[in-house]
Amino acid sequence: MGASQAAAGMLAAGVEVEPGEEGQLPLNRHSQQLWPSFAAELEAASGMEIDLRTEGTLVVALNADDAARLRFNFDLQKSLGLDHQWLTGGEAKKREPYLHTNTVAAIFSPGDHQVDNRKLAKALRIAFERAGGQLHEHAPVAEILTEGNRAVGVRLESGDFHHADTTVLAAGAWSRAIPGLPDLARPPVRPVKGQMAALRMDPNEPLLRHVVWTPSVYLVPRRDGRLVIGATVEERGFNTDLTAGGVMSLIEGAWRTLPGIEELPIDELWVGFRPGSRDDAPILGPSGLDGLVLATGHHRNGILLTPVTSDAISDHILTGRTSDVIRPFGLDRFIRKAASNR
């Protein structure tokens, strides 16, 4: 399953910030700020709701060691200007009464929200087709077509050709494997496997309202009663196995924070593949091959970065300019880093 369908839909520009990952914060926050208007525009264009929820996110600690690590991250996040609040265990439980009694502290991020990623994908498809776009599903690309030093379209495995002035490589975890890419334009993207689960709550009496991050998993409540639990992080290529250990780690991690899940039925189990780049940041903009633009490598932030990616890539196609907000995330950064390490 591709990352867009497999994701949890968190828009967590703030709580994901940890030491060493500060460089992506401006891009993430910029995209996060675009989400309200992007969602409204998409819902109007598609005629369907995508369930953008704005209750905020809690990151909880269940013991003193967890709290110490949480406090370290909180201080870093505050130093970066993030509007986060430190809560005692009691204050956290006032917001979410079903949290474990062992909850000793929490961070509350009022600006980190969620969207139903599967509804998002469906709405994007509807809006695209209403605008006159043609979607070719189950149509694997056999090769990128080039003439001289320029990409001119794609050939499908069916034998069909699609010629284009600009081709956007947005194949997620499969981006590196598209045939016909010259080495200079091949993005260093790998699959990062994630196992996930969903339980079924009573939508009229949900156990959670906020997105909740625990020491080992995250919990994302949906309006329809689904409770999404994620996710393992595995460097196992395109291995699709759901494993006993992976599923157990998800359920146990959720249960230690929210013991009320014990009697909830399992609704779904699945595996997805995040597109991870060499530095786990996205690869956006020119590829080094004229006519080919990259929009890949989003790793765990693909849903969050949907608005800024669509804006910046469409602007690049129409004007030839590369937006300042995505300039640090070009493919050429890997060449610069390699040169600086010599």
Distance CA 237, CA 60 (A): 31
Write the pLDDT tens digit of every residue in 11-20. 999 999 988 8
Three-state secondary structure string covering the chain:
CEHHHHCCCEECCCCCCCCCCHHHHHHHHHHHHHHHHHHHHHHHHHCCCCCCECCCEEEEECCHHHHHHHHHHHHHHHHCCCCCEEEEHHHHHHHCCCCCCCCCEEEEECCCEECCHHHHHHHHHHHHHHCCCCCCCCCCEEEEEEECCEEEEEEECCCCEEECCCEEECCHHHHHHCCCCCHHHCCCEEEEEEEEEEEECCCCCCCCCCEEECCCCEEEECCCCEEEEECCCECCCCCCCCCHHHHHHHHHHHHHHCHHHHHCCEEEEEEEEEEEECCCCCEEEECCCECEEEEECEHHHCCCCHHHHHHHHHHHHHHCCCCCCCHHHCCHHHHHHHHHCC
* pLDDT for residue 5: 86
* Confidence bin at 342 (pLDDT 50/70/90): low
Domains, the chain, with CATH or none: 1-131+146-342 (3.30.9.10)
Distance CA 67, CA 150 (A): 54
* pLDDT for residue 32: 98
Given a contact cutoff of 8 angstroms between Cβ atoms, the answer to whether 7 and 282 are in contact is no
* pLDDT for residue 46: 98
Among candidate residues 250, 254, 202, the one with its CA nearest the CA of residue 223: 202
- pLDDT > 90: percent of the chain: 92
Q: Which region among 178-182, 210-214, 216-220, 280-284 has the lowest average model confidence (pLDDT)? A: 178-182
Write the pLDDT tens digit of every residue in 288-302. 999 999 999 999 999
pTM metric for this prediction: 0.94
Read off the pLDDT of each residue in 236-262 and give the average, rounded to a whole number. 97
Write the pLDDT tens digit of every residue in 97-116. 999 999 999 999 999 999 99
